[in-house]
Structure 1
């Protein structure tokens, strides 16, 4: 029997706090199970495990979660909610208050990047951005 893969995220004793935080941001999300060591939760239909593993390991941008947004309102919402208490970076990247990296990107970006004539201008535009601006990308 083949089961779906899901990530295990290592926290320094605050896995439940992180799971509650993420579930408050993403609609259709919930805590599935919890004990002192592990909390399993679901974000928009995808399962995650949070492990209270201690201070040994930290998150890095080498692993990030991509939130693809159809509207500027969605970008603004996820940018604000996930970035609160964390730090904002370039090109739609942010680190949340737990240190997890997220990419908040417009769904139209792949279409814009696939146009060989427009792609260089789009790249130039988004390299100047922290939070993505859909209108500015489309007008590049």
Structure 2
């Protein structure tokens, strides 16, 4: 099945080193395509993008990768390797939500949540969006927003317990399927030093201009903001890239690539016809 939403992580021109590291940590790892700007790779069958973006943005814990390991030894093995040169945010242990769980930020700044639990899906790695600070109480609002944009299924919903200091029925955690890609959405009542950032973005790959228009316009509804080169932020500050599926091919075409890049650098929403005719 085609993966519709792909996490993209912003690196300071060391994306190749990061991808080499991840491929050494995970047994099932494949580099799909590489260019000076972007590396397309997969871990455990889940596609990821590593962007050589320079120093403008950095990754942070607002979007992490939640790995459903299926057993305790896998949690401990991944934790042992990912923590080298990184930072342990939650040490391995038993918690209310899992018998064995850990949260680690690796040496490149990418965050991983490692859980002993299994998942009833072929997707073992799930992007996890952390709604914090001004977004803490907005998880349910976000679910309703994404329901209007994607073909959405609600799989898990868990409210804050009584006494948490938030209104009743405030969502602590939810798992949804957006056009077949699983996303975890969680909230935190703690004060965090970070918010959503273009350093962690989600890429939607569209087959034609109608899809580009639909997802672009849908995600902007309710207060989103357009950016350049197919990037936007939704009403919650999450960065999305809405791009045509032929973009990678066009950018690696030795005859057209310079003209294609020059064309999309002038665009906000991608115009497929202009790219094809560049």
Q: TM-score range by the shorter chain?
A: over 0.9
Please say if 1:32 is aligned against 2:155. yes
* Structure 1 alignment gaps of length 5 or more: none
Offset, 1:30: 1.2
Please give the alpha-carbon distance, in whole angstroms, between the structure 2 residues aligned to 1:107 and 1:9: 24
Describe how 1:31-110 pairs up with structure 2 within 5 A. Answer: 31-36=154-159, 37-54=172-189, 56=192, 57-84=194-221, 85-110=223-248
Please give the alpha-carbon distance, in whole angstroms, between the structure 2 residues aligned to 1:97 and 1:62: 17
Offset, 1:115: 0.8
Please give the alpha-carbon distance, in whole angstroms, between the structure 1 residues aligned to 2:181 and 2:205: 15
Q: TM-score, normalised by structure 2?
A: 0.48
Q: Which moved more, 1:14-23 or 1:67-76?
A: 14-23
Offset, 1:74: 0.7
Q: TM-score, normalised by structure 1?
A: 0.92
Among 17, 39, 42, the alignment partner of 2:141 is 17
Please give the alpha-carbon distance, in whole angstroms, between the structure 1 residues aligned to 2:199 and 2:216: 19
Q: Which moved more, 1:78-87 or 1:38-47?
A: 38-47
After superposition, the C-alpha distances for 1:32-84 in whole angstroms (9 at most, x for unaligned) are 12122111111122221111213524100011111111111111111100022
Misfit runs of 4+, over 4 Å: none
| Higher strand content, 1 or 2 | 2
Q: Compare CA radii of gyration and give the structure with the larger one.
A: 2
Offset, 1:122: 0.3
Number of residue pairs matched? 139
